[in-house]
Amino acid sequence: GTPAVSNGKLVVNAIPTGELILSVLYCIDLASNSVIWQIDTGTDTLWSPLIVQNVVFSNYDNGSSFAFTTSARIFALNLATGEQLWYNNDVVIDHSPVFANGRLFFRGHNLVGEGGTDENVGLLSMDANSGRVLWLNTFFRYGSALVPLVVAENGVFGPSYYRGN
């Protein structure tokens, strides 16, 4: 996975030597090259972690029986200690989140939403402090990923192949 660096620490998802598909989120001290903490992240989770101030956002993937799909659940950790701040088992995230204005944005599935699948898949906005879903836009329900995703002062922007009215 692509590492993130902050406060003298490098955080990266990797597959440990000797493993085939199980992955670990490592936090490594850049000065000493020693592992500060490590967290199991399930099946082949090599997405980029996101660091905002002293919080690491990443995901745990239980694996899926369908090709090219994920069952990744998002969580937040304390950067210094690896202590879990929150974990949301009710939301499946399809790619690394983007942070802006105290919120996380990503395409995913709200597993506890009302209605059928079409009403519960799309672009999600989540409170970064609590992991609570704030809103879901179903316009982006089709397709397996919404990357690159850019959040700017006047909106949330996805790839140009999403064209609508």
What's the confidence (pLDDT) of residue 94?
82
CA angle 89, 92, 97 (to 5 degrees): 110
What's the confidence (pLDDT) of residue 76?
97
CB 119 within 8 A of CB 157: no
| Cis before 49 (ω within 30) | no
Question: Which residue numbers in the chain have pLDDT < 50?
Answer: 67, 165
Could you tell me the pTM of the whole model? 0.85
What's the confidence (pLDDT) of residue 165?
40
